[in-house]
Structure 1
Amino acid sequence: MVVTFDTNALLSATLWDGSVAQKLLYDLIKQNVKIYSSLEILNEYQKVLKRDFDFSNEDVAEIMEKVLAFVTLVKPSMKVNVVVEDADDNIIIECALESNSKYIITYDPHLLRLKEYKGIQIIKPEI
């Protein structure tokens, strides 16, 4: 199985001990599920860590080192305009398409409204 985590699900999985997203992430890692991301997603993740959680550059670097230990990076070769309400969300779909993900894991309402895109199921973290 192959999955792509949205920024908000990745934040929940890496910052909140015991969260559903974190439990799911640990389960996926134990099952050797491939978890994909892109530089665009990780750049957004870093911005949110600094802006919304006031992490220092040093703290962000430590967190990123941990994240990079379990994600595989892809460079999307296509641009999509599927999420018109929030164009920034399209980077998640682009990553999922490039990696042939079966699932996008997200809390984002714009993505969840789609439910599915080109065979990719868009779901909330659940265990």
Structure 2
Amino acid sequence: MSGKVVLDTNCLLMAISSRSRYYPVWQSFLQGEYTLCVTTDILEEYEEVLARNINQRVAQYILSALLERANVQMVDVFFRFRLITADPDDNKFVDCAIASNARYIVTEDRHFEVLEKIDFPKLAVIGIDRFFDEINDRCTLPPQA
């Protein structure tokens, strides 16, 4: 698995615990197997949600780990598409994916389903289970000769 990915906050939260079934998503990021695309708004949401659900120290640690990685792409969004109307706050992930030409938005949020009906810009939205499977498939494939 390689390429650019936008991770919804809840998917990041699901992946960072070493006790989580989705921990390989975090590990593969740390190993540089994909590029995580973020904006300042996304990082702020990551920090807020991590601090609320775990604690501020862990939130700071995770943000530091993100910002120090070579496989994090800071994205400047110059146009807001406003494609998700049910929860406009989710548009930060959509705009980041468009601006970075991301391969996927990884989310479990049903508000993103509206993107399947939009022809342009075309965005691939997948759930964390499918992303997890892609990571595991890559890790279990025998090396190519």
Instruction: State TM-score, norm by structure 2.
Output: 0.73
Kindly tell me: are residues 25 and 63 of structure 1, through their superposed partners in 2, closer, same or farther at Cα, counting changes over 3 Å?
closer
Aligned to 2:66: 67
Separation in 2, partners of 1:116, 1:15: 34
1:25 is displaced (CA, Å) by 4.0
Separation in 1, partners of 2:52, 2:4: 30
1:83 is displaced (CA, Å) by 0.7
Instruction: State TM-score, norm by structure 1.
Output: 0.82
Kindly tell me: are residues 82 and 27 of structure 1, through their superposed partners in 2, closer, same or farther at Cα, counting changes over 3 Å?
same
Provide, for residues 54-83 of structure 1, a one-character-per-residue CA deviation record: whole Å limited to 9, x for no partner.
x13x33221211122242211111112111
Choose which of 4, 7, 20 in structure 2 pairs with 1:5. 7
Structure 1 letter corresponding to 2:125:
I
Aligned to 1:23: 24
Kindly tell me: are residues 52 and 27 of structure 1, through their superposed partners in 2, closer, same or farther at Cα, counting changes over 3 Å?
closer
Structure with greater Cα Rg: 2
29-38 vs 88-97, which moves further: 29-38
Larger % of strand: which?
A: 1
Choose which of 120, 123, 129 in structure 2 pairs with 1:120. 123
Aligned to 2:86: 85
SS in 2 for 1:120: coil
Structure 2 residue runs without a partner (length 5+): 134-145
Structure 2 letter corresponding to 1:92:
F
Structure 1 residue runs without a partner (length 5+): none
